[in-house]
Amino acid sequence: MNISDDNTENTGNKFSGTTSLKRYFGMADSPHAIRIITRRAGYNFGSSLQAYAMQQTLLKAGFDNLIIDYDEYKLRWKIRPFVHNTVYRLLQLFQMPGKFIVPELYERFKKRHIQRAKFDRFDRSRLRLTSRHYKTAAAITRDLAGCRACVCGSDQIWSPLLFDPVMFLNFCTGTGVRKVAYAPSIGLDRITAHKEEIRQLTEDFYALSVREEQGAVLLRKLLKRQDIPAMPDPTLLLEQHEWLEIAQMPQPGTPYILCYFLGESVPHDFISNLQKKSGCRVVNIRMYYNRITVAGEMLDTVSPEEFLGLVHQAAYVCTDSFHGTIFSILMERKFFCFRRFSESAANNQNSRIYNLLDSLHLMSRLCNENSFATTTELNYVESRKQLAALRKQAFSYLRNALS
């Protein structure tokens, strides 16, 4: 598997649909553009690609938009990257002894540095960000003059475990700017922390939706209103060919099983059996914060664009990731989805996987370690019909909310 480890960039048209165009020519933020607030941080495929999808979906619906370049990182989120950067710089400063005395440490930090750089390039080249970087809600409020509406969504921006009032558009309060929620995820099956704050922050939304039906039930009960639909993740609103426009394909090679796990419960026996049955090699994507090991070839520097290409070219995909599952479906791969969380865990987020698979008639792809590793083809005919219906519903919701 040939994935580039250098710092070169190949994004096609350098300024196509990006904030780079605006910044390069010194253009000011459009006062009439819709603003988006969402999570992009964490060097995470799902966060980066859903932000891109939200942006592109609004453009397709006819709404100019900018993603608010908001500093999501609290102090505790900044410590690890700071330490990693410091260690890497020291290793570079003493490169020769570092390579020979602690070669594994040197390579590990080098790969982390490369992957961070690729994600940063994705932000710069793919996302239409505001020209200003914001650290507070008050600073965002000062720049909302002329803005018609703000959209929050998607990803787990409403999780009580990651509570941030900015993700509930608190900066719009009292401004006359329309507040619209598109498929933010609560991520849990109950709200225990910040319950009253969430109620107050959501009661003045012009249009309110969430990503999972379970979250919709929670908010309907909390706000005592029934007009809160569950909407599909924005990544589902772009069609396969639209994702392939930005995908970077791996070099041709023998067929592979792509593994992408974020949790510790990796089904090693299942993967081994699938490998024997299919004759494919195993390729494992490891992330900046999730260095999960699966026997096979390790890819430690994958960018969002390369991730799309790897999924598209895979013979099989094994994953416990929500967005890993989504892109397996969009690329119409033979995939196997595993539970990432214990059902009794306080942070159990399995409901979003269940909701996704059920809505697309693919619950049969939910597996466990003892499941049968089938190599039969998947029929996506019914899933395509369901996706078309979900997209129609989503675009209707957005046009009604923003027109």
32 and 71 assigned to the same domain = yes
- Two structure tokens written together for 253: 């090679």
Q: State which residues form the domain around 30.
A: 19-76+124-239+388-402
399 neighbors 61 (Cβ within 8 angstroms): yes
Q: Is the pLDDT of residue 21 over 60?
A: no
State how far the Cα of 118 lies from the Cα of 43, in Å rounded to an integer: 9
| 175 and 269 share one domain | no
How confident is residue 150, by pLDDT bands cut at 50, 70 and 90? very high
0.95 cut: is pTM over it?
A: no
Confidence band for 239, pLDDT divided at 50, 70 and 90: very high
Mapping DSSP to helix (H, G, I), strand (E, B) and coil, where does residue 298 land?
Answer: strand
pLDDT at residue 81 greater than cutoff 70: no
Verify that 192 and 63 share a domain, yes or no: yes
Structure tokens given for 187: 């991520």
Q: In the structure, what pLDDT confidence band is assigned to residue 56 with cuts at 50, 70 and 90?
A: very high
Q: Does 322 share its domain with 299?
A: yes
Average pLDDT, whole number, for the chain? 86
How many structural domains are present in the chain?
Answer: 2
Is residue 113 assigned to a domain?
no
**pLDDT for 174 beyond 60:** yes
- CATH number of the structural domain spanning residue 350: 3.40.50
Mark whether 55 and 158 lie in a shared domain.
yes
Q: Tens digits of per-residue pLDDT, 88-147?
A: 666 666 665 656 666 677 788 888 889 989 999 999 999 999 999 999 999 999 999 889
Q: Which residue has 């970087």 as its token pair?
A: 133
Are 373 and 260 contained in the same domain? yes
Strand partners, 281: 256
The whole-angstrom distance between residue 340's C-alpha and the CA centroid of its chain comes to: 16
Same domain, 360 and 213: no
Amino acid found at 358 = D
